[in-house]
Chain A
Amino acid sequence: MASLLDPLLLARVQFAFTVSFHFIFPSFSIGLASFLMVLEGLWLKTGKSIYLDLFRFWLKIFAVAFAMGVVSGIVMSYQFGTNWAVFSDKAGPVIGPLMAYEVLTAFFLEAGFLGVMLFGMNKVGKGLHFAATCMVALGTFISAFWILSVNSWMQTPTGYEIAANGQFLPGPSWWAIVFNSSFPYRLIHTVLAAYLTTAFAVGGAGAWHLLKDPANAHARKMFSMAMWMAALVTPMQILAGDQHGLNTLEHQPAKVMAMEGHFQSHPDGAPLVLFGIPDSEAQTMHYSVEIPKASSLILKHDLDAPLAGLDSVAPEDRPPVGPVFWAFRLMVGIGTAMLGVGLWSLVARWRGKLYDWRLLHRAALLMSPAGFVAVIAGWVTTEVGRQPWTIYGLLRTADSASPLGAPAVGASLLAFVVVYFAVFGIGVWYLLRLMAHTPHSGETGVAGQETGPVRTSGIVPGTAPRLEREP
């Protein structure tokens, strides 16, 4: 069944690959856009140039990350049609309008103001420039709103009707479609994840520079801001994740069974499986380390509450357990480590050692990619966990794919893999290089490179080291 030449499997791998790669960039740029908005706002409010320096330092990084997000995002808007044409025809009337709203209210907003944000400070003045930065940040959030509404509708479809030709049609209320039952939880959980991802990336960069020079004021400021985020947002995220999990238990119990590794039903209290090797063939967990009744306590707030297992689900409706089980543990593990670093930073702050505790800096550096890993792990948990459905309980993944041959899907998959690893690999290297550049006063803007993009006013390339000046 799962042969390498199965076009369905290849189409799934292609979607998983392109969306995972894409997801890395927006999960960074959503948080980074808000961070930039805060930095510029603080600069305008306090007049302290350190905020402007940090704004410019991270703006260059934002520009590169955003470009990669845009080009990998356009691929996504066509993946639905190329590889999942049957799904597009059937679900288009319901999810198409939501995606159109994403383009109209988010993509244009981001793109329209990005040029001014990157290159326009000396053209439009501080106030309008800050407004442009806010619009870009708002755009990234609105984009998350719509696309997560689409994803949530596919997980918990509501407000639809089914036509004679098998198409899903919108019911009388779009509210019921947009605000489907898993959407608020997914939105909060994902946006907080983007903020944490950015916080740990920024914190890691700050830690790197503090390890090299603990006196660097810019590194201190970015590390301190990032650690506040880590300490404050991680507990919120753990709460949001817990609520999201309870919502999933209500609407997609099979996904939670896979996350928990519950092959069997537990009529009087289910154990929490801390570790084990899931075996879907034998429907059992090998070498499992369990806490009796703890799963029932977490999910039902009652030690003896019964919890159904995968044995209560028809075999053809069961999700694959392995990837969901492992990805979920990876995500929770990283979340716990994030909480640890956040609390540690509070202790360090209290003891006045935030900028001198080298072990904390090393830990923060180690954690700098953690958010990205957690985001992908969370994505795998929710997306593999909802298999075998594209529209949960209604349309099977196997019935959604385009009528394409394995060579076509395989060849395009190969092309995506080669190009993405090459292009985005180099792009990530450029990002790291920009982050490794020591932050200092008089930081240049995106347009401030000696040979960087020179805007329509003023200066001939190569004659002026700085273009972006405060007006």
Chain B
Amino acid sequence: MSGSIDLTTIWAFIIAFAVFAYVVMDGFDLGIGILFPAVTVGHGRNRAMNAIAPVWDGNETWLVLGGGGLMAAFPLAYAVILPATYPLIIAMLLGLVFRGVAFEFRWRDEAHRPFWDLAFFGGSLVAAMSQGMILGALLQGIEVADRAYSGSWWDWLTPYTLLTGLGTVAAYALLGACWLIWKLSGDVQENAYRLATRAAVATLVLMAAVSAYNLVLLDQYRHRWLELPNILFASQVPLLTAIVAATLFWALKRRRELAPFLLALALFLLGMAGLGVTIWPNVVPPAISIWEAAAPHRSQVFMLVGVAITLPLIIGYTGWAYWVFRGKVGTEGYH
């Protein structure tokens, strides 16, 4: 049995890794979509699109791993969270439909390109907002009875979930702007610096608001963060966040090209760490722990073998694909 417990923890970290990989990788794709109306029509938008066209599909696959992996490793959590956030999941999926086809369709139909650009923006915005609200709906706690969701139709819509939704939109926009800074040059890059600064301010304000709200949301969160000795460890997260944020503004001001993206990633990593501290060891707050939701030992072992073999390969060839398309988009001879 002890072996099974260890595997459950490992699986919790694998799912967390998949979610994190999705959030940062599709995060910059979706962020570029969210910022699309603020990007110059014509060469700006074309290049912004080209900066992600070869990689977006791979980035989105992490969402399938997050969803599929959750069903496989924590079937009870999958079976509770999805009905509880039903309208948000559907909205996210439909948003991703519009976002995904826009990549191809905008090149196939010049006459209607403004329409597909609008679909790209709208789809990205709806998907990001939905994802943030799903996170909020999970954090605020889900009512469960007899292995099934027992809350009401509108539980997912609260001031808190709207806040987490907006926070996610802002944070994705920050990542997207930082990616554009790295991949583009000239006037489009200069515009991205301005957008990144604004998005960073919005992200930090909303992160702080969500963190403060967490303290009054559930008693268990307050105990986790504010009581001794927890506070000594937990307080490192906001402290580090402040340091990273200050460095990010400095890097943007100094017009550094790669540093803003890496610092934005660091912000996400800290956000993820804060999230982990908040809900651990639950997978569905307030009552279902990872061990209660876990798949049986045999399922965990079978999948772990697959992950151990394939994940390094996936990271390897995904890295290669990024390497192939390295450098600035639309400038001469950078490789």
Contact = CB atoms under 8 A, between A and B. Distances in A.
Contacts of B86: 82, 402, 404, 408, 412
Nearest to A409: B86
A100 B75 contact: no
Nearest to A102: B68
* Residue in A73, A74, A427, A451 whose Cβ sees the most chain B Cβ within 10 Å: A74
Interface in A41-74: 63-64, 67-68, 70-74
A263 B270 CA distance: 65
Which of B93, B153, B295, B317 gathers the greatest number of chain A CB atoms within 10 Å?
B93
A423 B306 contact: no
B213 interface: no
Interface stretch (B229-237, B244-252, B321-329): B321-329
A96 B89 contact: no
A3 interface: no
A99 B314 contact: no
Most buried by B among A64, A81, A119, A451: A81
Nearest to B53: A453
B328 A104 contact: no
Contact of A461 (B68, B105, B108, B330): B330
A169 interface: yes
A115 interface: yes
B108 A170 contact: no
B328 A97 contact: no
Could you say which of A73, A88, A92 has the most chain B C-beta atoms within 10 Å of its C-beta?
A92
A408 B302 contact: no
A163 B53 CA distance: 46
B114 interface: no
Interface centre among B101, B110, B303, B328 (most CB of A within 10 A): B101
Interface in B49-70: 49-50, 53-55, 57-58, 60-61, 63-65, 67-69
Counting chain B CB atoms within 10 Å of each CB, which of A77, A100, A454 scores highest? A100
A434 interface: yes
Nearest to A73: B64
Given A94-B299, A103-B69, A68 B101 contact: yes
B49 A461 contact: no
B302 A105 contact: no
A416 to B, nearest CB: 8
A289 B334 CA distance: 72
B311 interface: yes
Contacts of B67: 77-78, 81
B108 A99 contact: no
Interface stretch (A106-114, A188-196, A336-344, A390-398): A106-114
Contacts of B65: 100, 103-104, 107-108
A449 interface: yes
A80 interface: yes
A75 B53 contact: no
Given A85-B149, A96-B72, A454-B46, A415 B105 contact: no
B324 A116 contact: yes
B23 interface: no
Contacts of B97: 71-72, 75, 419-420, 423
Interface in B11-31: none
Interface string A442-455: 00000001011111
Contacts of A457: 327, 333-335
B187 interface: no
A154 to B, nearest CB: 14
- Indicate the size class of the contact surface on chain B: 35 or more
Contacts of A116: 54, 321, 324
Interface in B188-229: none
A64 B330 CA distance: 23
Given A96-B73, A105-B310, A111 B303 contact: no
A291 interface: no
B101 A165 contact: no
Given A81-B83, A96-B72, A108-B318, A70 B107 contact: no
A86 interface: yes
B162 interface: no
A112 B316 CA distance: 10
Given A107-B61, A116-B321, A457-B327, A449 B107 contact: yes
A109 B58 CA distance: 9
A371 interface: no
A436 interface: no
B87 interface: yes
B184 to A, nearest CB: 11
Interface in A428-449: 430, 433-434, 449
Contact of B72 (A82, A92, A165): A92
A82 B310 contact: no
A390 B96 CA distance: 28
Contacts of A426: 105
A433 B310 CA distance: 39
B268 to A, nearest CB: 21
A89 B79 CA distance: 6
B78 A75 contact: no
Contacts of A96: 68, 71-73, 75, 78, 295, 299
A86 B148 contact: yes
A424 B317 CA distance: 30
Nearest to B328: A456
B119 to A, nearest CB: 8
A165 B83 contact: no
B320 to A, nearest CB: 8
Contact of A454 (B61, B317, B326, B329): B329
A397 B17 CA distance: 34
A398 B216 CA distance: 41
B302 A70 contact: no
A174 interface: yes
A120 B71 CA distance: 35
A186 B220 CA distance: 50
Interface in B82-116: 82-83, 86-87, 89-90, 93-94, 96-98, 100-101, 103-105, 107-110
Nearest to A80: B71
A461 B299 CA distance: 50
Nearest to A407: B153
A114 B101 contact: no
Contacts of A172: 298
List 9 A-B pairs, minimum CB-CB distance, nearest first.
A92-B75, A96-B72, A115-B54, A81-B82, A89-B79, A71-B100, A111-B58, A85-B79, A111-B57
Given A82-B90, A111-B58, 4 more contacts: A64-B108, A78-B93, A408-B153, A459-B330
21 contacts: A78-B89, A82-B83, A88-B78, A89-B76, A93-B295, A99-B68, A100-B72, A104-B307, A112-B58, A112-B317, A113-B317, A402-B149, A403-B148, A412-B86, A423-B97, A426-B105, A430-B108, A455-B325, A456-B328, A457-B335, A461-B47
